[in-house]
Structure 1
């Protein structure tokens, strides 16, 4: 299911919801343990897992270059939020009768040509996280699926005011 995009007063909110048949502990470990994190979001590396802690966005280009990202909100096994350029990304995890619910909320300060690329990227990364939790590891980023999602988000954003 695609994310929803809502206009707020001076920004937009993109919300991805993923019901998962896995307990919070397993989902949290997949999100915050670097070995697992690399399997669904290979650019991210958690350096200090706490509020005001650090995440590296590794360029993965052989140079060792990275951008430092600040963790803006954190609650063990419930919330992980961080800066994402001029935007913010917030993961919220809660228990359900059937496992857990993972909600990713990206606050977009402005919609740009890059926005559908970012949304497609998060969508595919969440698919890869779900697959990892289900015991399936991707050897490569699924560019064909990303391209499909990019087209869908580009079309969606063309209707957003």
Structure 2
């Protein structure tokens, strides 16, 4: 079970940090992060287009309209770092080896907290759990809305606390 993210206040805004210990090699985790066939099994909206620094990816609306948002890849180091625009904010995945696998860290840099922030963080939480499941051979057919709603409640409390 993935622990809740930690939220910190900074001069320029906030950051939310998820830490996900995995019993899988970095190469396996990297493939799940960057290979569209695997990526879309845990985050169906994301699509890699030009996987490199200053490349781009898409957030597909998946609403039947073929609409998408283009997002710039702002930092990239093969099997170490993938950072991209996330609206006005950014999301950074970092991988580091451990003696029995790897640690996947996700840091979302948030300029301004909003009513949507807990929903966004809850979404990342559920997606990271699905990423971990995928590495363990479990594929979820649908996004677990009830689990997401429970996480929204938890992240609402964390965001409220961070604002104080």
Shared fold (TM-score, shorter chain, > 0.5): yes
Corresponding position of 2:93: 91
**Structure 2 residue 102 is the aligned partner of structure 1 residue 100:** yes
Matches within 5 A, 1:61-76: 61-76=63-78
2:44 is equivalent to residue 42 of structure 1: yes
Deviation of 1:98 (Å): 1.2
**Taking structure 1 as the reference length, what is the TM-score of the superposition?**
0.99
2-structure distance, mates of 1:118, 1:17: 16
C-alpha separation in 1, matches of 2:87 and 2:65: 21
1:155 corresponds, among 137, 154, 157, to 157
1:29 pairs with one of 28, 31, 36:
31
- The count of aligned residue pairs is 161
Among 106, 110, 114, the residue aligned to 1:112: 114
For residues 65 and 7 of structure 2, what CA distance do their matches in structure 1 show?
Answer: 36
**What's the RMSD between the two structures over aligned residues?**
0.5
SS state at 1:38 partner: helix
Any runs of at least 4 consecutive aligned residues in structure 1 with deviations exceeding 3 A, and if so which? none
Structure 1: tracts of 5 or more residues without a match: none
TM-score between the two structures when normalised by the length of structure 2: 0.97
What SS does structure 2 have at the residue aligned with 1:68? strand
Alignment partner of 1:153: what SS? helix
Residue 51 of structure 1 pairs with residue 53 of structure 2: yes
Unaligned runs of 5+ in 2: none
Match of 1:14 in 2: 16
Instruction: State the distance in 1 between where 2:57 and 2:132 align.
Output: 21
1:88, 1:94 → 2: CA distance?
A: 20
